[in-house]
Amino acid sequence: MKVLGLFAAMFGSFVFISSVASADDAGHAEYVSACAACHGVDGRGDGPIAELLTITVPALTGLSAANEGAFPMLKVIHAIDGRQSIRGHGNPMPIWGQQFEVEVEAEGYGPYGGEAVVRGRVLSIAYYLESIQE
């Protein structure tokens, strides 16, 4: 019986670790797709489009350091999503929540399922950014 319990614990740990690894992979993939063009593959603000912009693209690896060592998760989620804040014309940061919403509408998730997918994509990017803090 103890062997079965040990096996179950080991299997559960493996599944958990695998899901964390796949979550990191998903966040990295979303980041590369949506953010790396401006912020760079490593999040240092040196993406290929950054030099074409009239604003300085911020590095994303120092968000925790700029927030007394704590990663500002909610602020990051809102910045990525962009649908909750009022933005002036010409804000350089794309409204990714809206863009993701348009993309998932075509998939037929419905209004609630689509919103869950959008929030999941935004959250996966935020978790990835948390993982690259220096």
pLDDT in tens, 59-89: 999 999 999 999 999 999 999 999 887 665 5
Among 55, 51, 31, 29, residue whose Cα is nearest residue 43: 31
Residues in contact with 34: Cβ distance below 8 Å, sequence separation at least 6, in sequence order: 94, 96, 99, 125
Residue 128: CB atoms within 10 A of its CB come to 22
C-alpha distances in Å from residue 34, one per residue of 10, 16, 38, 42, 68: 36, 27, 9, 13, 27
* Chain segment 20-70, per-residue pLDDT in tens: 455 578 999 999 999 999 999 999 999 999 999 988 999 999 999 999 999
Domain edges within the chain: 2-131
Q: Can you give the pTM of this predicted structure? A: 0.78
What is the rounded end-to-end Cα distance, in angstroms, of the chain?
Answer: 45
Dist CA 48 CA 45 (whole Å): 9
Residue 117: CB atoms within 10 A of its CB come to 16
